[in-house]
Structure 1
Amino acid sequence: MKQNRLAAIDIGTNSIRSIIVETAGNGKYKILDDEKVLVRLGEGLHQTGLISPAAWQRAIEALSRQKKIIDGYRVTSIEAVATSAVRKAGNGRELMAAVREQTGLEIEVISGEEEAELAALSAQHNFELEGVRHLIFDIGGGSLELISALGAHTEEMLSLELGAVFLTESFLKSDPVQQAEHQKLRKHVRKSLKTAYTGERTGMQCLVGSGGTVTSIAAMVAAARGEKFDSLHGYELLRSELVHLLAMLVRKSDKERRAVPGLNPDRSDIIVAGVTAVDELMDFFQVNHLKVNERGIREGLILRGLRRRNLLPEKKQRSWRDSSLEFARSCHCDEGHAQQVAKLSRQIFLALAKRYGWGEKELRLLEAAAIMHDVGYFISYSSHHKHSYHLIRHADLFGFTPRERELMANIARYHRKSMPKKKHDEYTRLSAADQLLVSRLGGILRLCDGLDRRRNAVVQQLDCVLDKDLLRLTLGGAEDMSVELYGAKAKSDLLQESCRLKLELQSLPQQPAPPL
């Protein structure tokens, strides 16, 4: 199939970002290059109404370099847009003409509503929002875009002048920030939201946010939690964490904020205003839950470009299960075995769920880990359980948070060989509660892998009875079960130890095969 390479350039108020992707025409793509340059195009714009000569030059240099990188990748088409700063500046159009003359790039200056549409396109591509009333927002240096929606149905779309750079230059003059200044900033954001938003504010179930402020919030919260993830895409945090974070940032000087774990020093001077805007947004809609979309407008541009070129299939509802199966298939796993292990794991889970307080979230983790537990074969049979850990941890899986990916990777890692040990760094860096969850769900997966020892789904029936500290499993099927009984017994150690259960295994009398 012909490969297509696309590039997207987002010229924002604070930074200019470009991304280069390759697609095979099925709507999926892989990132080949991702470049970000802090340009501060909106520096001083609030006071003068113009892009300064220094910012002008920084933009030209950054775009010239990015265009050379794009040309080097032999990109077939470019989606390039300029947002708030260029839209607002009196000399914004002149800058875009200079960019075209010096780099050959054709830049589209888009409206705030178009920005919002791109942010929504990315969020709906990455999160399970079907039937959920939610708010998508993107906060840049100059503006804040909002989209309230129920599932795929947009209710209201707004673009407000509430970006982190604009708010900082308008309200925060002191270092550290004075309380009176901060209160004026809060009141302005609150009033702007009340004036502009006319829809129903109650019943909003979650916020999905993108932009540098949001990813910085996630990085600081993750650092405070002691968490380390390769990607913060899909990260989830609570309003209470945001409130504590903001209180800490307001007390510090700019120099002190530069040392805050997780915060890029280049963003230290505008972070208070950005976090305040997000905090007021969560308060305004009375939402306690924020999901982080690391991709945002740039990905929206890529998706728009694919759609324009008929390279994006008609949208269908995505699910975590489809994503897990798709990833397992890409690693050429034994799908029949994976599905059998997932089926048996579900049955044992349901027998234990009430005792351990498990629900749908834990079941989803176990089933997905079961589907993907053998993906490590893609690299090598030897230590394939360890390879599975790394592949799942780094996989781009729809519908899972970074924490959930880490948990699934660990659950799959313990389906064979060693049980969890203190010397296993991947396990010990989990919280105590997550360690116990991994051990128990990993114990179920490990046992069920043994129940399909011959990889032919011979166990057609599995009856699970929990009686005090005894779990009784009865196997049924048309063939002799001796191998499966042996396999399960050999791999029951982790479940028995972590759940403090004794296991009793037996099989029903062999049932005759149905007549042809």
Structure 2
Amino acid sequence: MDVGTNAVRLELARPDADGSLETLHQERDPIRPGEGVFTTGEMPPETADRLLSTLRRYAALCRRHKAQVRAVATSALREARNRQDIVRRVHEEAGLELEVVSGKEEARLICLGVLHRKPANARSLLIDIGGGSTEVAIATGERPDELWSLTLGSVRLTEVFDTSRAVTPKQLRLMRGFVNEVLHKTLPEELPALPRIALGSSGTIQAVAGYAVGENGGNANVRQLTQAVETLAAMPPERRRKRFDPRRADIIVSGAVILEGVARHLGVESVSVVNRGLRDGLLVDLLYRQDETRDDHSLADAALAIGQRFFFDEKHARQVARLSLALFDGLASLHQLPLSVRPHLEVAALLHDIGTAVSHERHHRHTYYLIHNADIPGLADRERELIARVARYHRRSQPELSHSGMAGLTPSEARRVRKLATLLRLANALDHSHHQPIREFKVTHGRDIVTLHLHARQPLDLELWNAEREVVAFRKVFGKRLAFQVHSVGR
């Protein structure tokens, strides 16, 4: 489910044996959830009621099909001051967990939907113009290399410049200037060599590009887009409504100005329209989350980028992550956690010390705050919250169920955080010196004991002293004693 600025959309699909998706049902309700949000800062009660009515119907359809659901909201709800009230109502009245995604996560999902099954080395440039924001992505295969979310949207620009009626030359000049200013502020001055043809994935782009090329079809070049902007701006509103769907007609000029500006700024020759987007990305993302054999390092890469921004000790972070994952894999029969949480442990391990950028004292608490508020594409809000909790417990207080830091978790979430944090604490202790003395690592199980075989290139006195302090907590969480055997290896 996609709660956008212009409309709410539902798509139900079934995965085929070859990994493709067969669409079973689609719906689109143009209830304009973002109407008024960008000028008042809130979603009006009547709009919220329309949204809830739509989502209740969608939820009933999903229950009928016994579907796995991911429901996201984008720009309009991101900026609405009353978004928490809306999310709460959706949970209570429709039984859905509505996730308000960041701009980068929106761009990642669009990218995944448009580029699904692209050849691994194919380079792509993607543009998506929504009602409240415009997403730009550079990708190799399905994987985004760069993601940007711009505060430019067809509804937003229409409300700010009042372009649903006649557009004067002065208004058009101001709109173009505003778009260029946002582009220069948000996109970097120097971009890598880009494909000459951009992929355009939204209904707005489809309408603008289709009008620009006319009956001839094909890709819309920049000259045609500029001509379309001039013609649409000069066109009386009545004629626009005859040419386009009435709700699309009100925002078409703003959409055309944005597309022209983005295409010029990126230096592309033309825009090619594709019929996939955010909904497709949500489905592919759900499909990939079920595939436990999929080797995807995008979350770890995103975590490393955040760590580098906070000048973390990368060698220590990578070592703690390596040891954490070795513990997770070696103790799988003991912790019985799903493989899907393994990347979450890796992110928590990579970022456990970033709080030192604020202050070394109580840095575990600063780490929690930084992860909780980070924009990590590929993570749902709740997943990011649980990762922040795991990282917060890498030192000091144990993740006891009675501790204040565990408040608000469901019983299953609390068990997950407790187990993952226990593994992270042990891994962190095994590199307490920050010198990565452990080269190899192996876990063996006895009847009531777990033994860690540590192959080290130097004495482990500091590591062992700290690891011994985790033995009691390990037994409390996992029900087994913990022992260490050290084996020396050459330098």
> TM-score when scaled to structure 1?
0.54
SS in 2 for 1:287: coil
Is 1:242 matched up with 2:232?
no
Q: How does 1:454-469 map to 2 (within 5 A)?
A: none
SS at match of 1:268: helix
Secondary structure of 2:194 counterpart: coil
The CA distance in 2 between the partners of 1:28 and 1:269, in whole Å, is 36
Letter in 2 for 1:246: V
Q: Give, as a single letter, the amino acid of the residue that structure 1 aligns with 2:258.
A: A
Q: Is the 8 A contact 1:25 1:311 kept in 2?
A: no
Which structure 2 residues correspond to residues 329-348 of structure 1 after superposition, within 5 A?
none
Question: What does 1:114-193 correspond to in 2, within 5 Å?
Answer: 114-125=105-116, 130-132=121-123, 134-151=124-141, 154-173=144-163, 175-193=165-183
Counterpart of 2:57? 65
Pair 1:255–1:192, CA change in 2 (3 A): same
Counterpart for residue 81 of structure 2: 90
Contact 1:130–1:152, Cα closer than 8 Å, also in 2: no
Work out the CA distance in 2 between the residues paired with 1:127 and 1:192: 31
Q: CA deviation at 1:250?
A: 0.8
Give the partner amino acid of 1:183: R
Decide whether the 8 Å contact of 1:216 with 1:264 is kept in 2. Answer: no
Per the alignment, residue 20 of structure 1 pairs with 12
Q: SS where residue 148 of structure 2 aligns? A: strand
How big is the shift at 1:59? 0.6
Residues 399-439 of structure 1 show CA distances to partners (whole Å, capped at 9, x for unaligned) of: xxxxxxxxxxxxxxxxxxxxxxxxxxxxxxxxxxxxxxxxx
Select the residue among 87, 92, 106 that pairs with 1:101: 92
Aligned-residue offset at 1:65: 1.8
Q: Tell me the residue number matched to 2:37.
A: 45
Q: Which blocks of at least 5 consecutive residues in structure 1 are unaligned?
A: 1-8, 228-234, 316-516
Counterpart-to-counterpart distance in 1, 2:118 and 2:47: 36
List aligned pairs for 1:286-305, cutoff 5 A.
286-305=267-286
Matched residue SS, 1:26: coil
- Contact 1:119 1:137 (8 Å CA) reproduced: no
Q: Distance in 1 between matches of 2:116 and 2:262?
A: 23
Tell me the CA shift for residue 152 of structure 1. Answer: 5.4
Partner of 1:272: 253
Deviation at 1:86, TM superposition (A): 0.8
Q: Distance in 2 between matches of 1:18 and 1:221?
A: 29
Name the residue aligned to 2:310: none
SS at match of 1:27: coil
Q: Which residue of 2 aligns with 1:81?
A: 72
Q: What is the alpha-carbon distance in structure 2 between the residues aligned to residue 245 and residue 128 of structure 1?
A: 33
Any idea what the Cα deviations from partners look like across 1:208-239, whole Å, max 9, x if unmatched? 121221122244356x2166xxxxxxx63322
**Counterpart residue identity of residue 203, structure 1:** A
Q: 1:113 aligns with which of 104, 110, 116?
A: 104
CA–CA distance in structure 2, aligned partners of residues 62 and 312 of structure 1: 36
Q: Could you give the per-residue CA deviations for residues 69-124 of structure 1, whole angstroms, max 9, x where no partner exists?
A: 2233x233011111111111011121111111111111111100100100111222
| Superposition deviation, residue 156 in structure 1 | 2.6
Structure 2 contact 219–272 (Cα < 8 Å) conserved:
yes
1:436: which partner in 2?
none
Instruction: Out of 303-312 and 271-280, give the one that drifted further.
Output: 303-312
CA distance 1:128–1:24, shift in 2 (3 Å)? closer
Structure 1 contact 156–199 (Cα < 8 Å) conserved: no
* Alpha-carbon distance in structure 2 between the residues aligned to 1:128 and 1:287: 21
Give 3-state SS (helix, strand or coil) of 1:81's partner. strand
- Give the match's secondary structure for 1:18: strand
In the aligned structure 2, how far is the partner of 1:204 from the partner of 1:150?
11
- Residue of structure 1 equivalent to 2:194: 204
Contact 1:83 1:109 survives alignment (8 Å): yes
Does the C-alpha gap of structure 1 residues 128 and 187 become closer, same or farther in structure 2, counting only changes over 3 Å?
A: farther
String of CA shifts for 1:10-45, please: whole Å, max 9, x gaps: 001111000000113531121011100011111111
The equivalences for 1:211-222 within 5 A come to: 211-221=202-212
Change (3 A) 1:56 1:242: same
CA distance 1:69–1:214, change in 2 (3 Å): same
Any idea what SS the aligned residue of 1:200 has? coil
Cα distance in 2 for residues equivalent to 1:195 and 1:89: 23
* Structure 2 CA distance for aligned equivalents of residues 127 and 180 of structure 1: 43
Instruction: Confirm or deny: 8 A CA contact 2:111 2:142 kept in the other structure.
Output: no
Q: In the alignment, is the contact (CA less than 8 A) between 1:208 and 1:291 conserved in 2?
A: yes
Instruction: Give TM-score, length-normalised by structure 2.
Output: 0.56
What residue ranges of structure 2 are gaps of 5+ in the alignment? 297-491
1:146-199: CA deviations, max 9, x gaps?
112455564432111101100111123572111111111111111111111115
In the alignment, the residues of structure 2 paired with residue 265 and residue 312 of structure 1 have an alpha-carbon distance, to the nearest angstrom, of 47
Contact in 2 for aligned 1:19/1:34 (Cα 8 Å): yes
For residues 48 and 129 of structure 1, the distance between their equivalents in structure 2, rounded to whole angstroms, comes to: 44
Secondary structure of 1:258's counterpart equals helix
Matched position secondary structure for 1:78? coil
Q: Aligned to 1:136, what secondary structure does the other structure show?
A: strand
Alpha-carbon separation, structure 2, partners of 1:128 and 1:257: 40
- Relative distance call for 1:242 and 1:100 in structure 2 (3 A) is same
Residue 10 of structure 1 aligns with an amino acid whose one-letter code is D
The answer to whether the 8 Å contact 2:158/2:164 transfers is: no
Equivalent residues in 2 for 1:357-368, closer than 5 Å: none
Aligned residues: 295
SS at match of 2:149: strand
CA distance in 1, matches of 2:84, 2:9: 19
Give the 3-state SS of the residue equivalent to 1:259 in structure 2.
Answer: helix
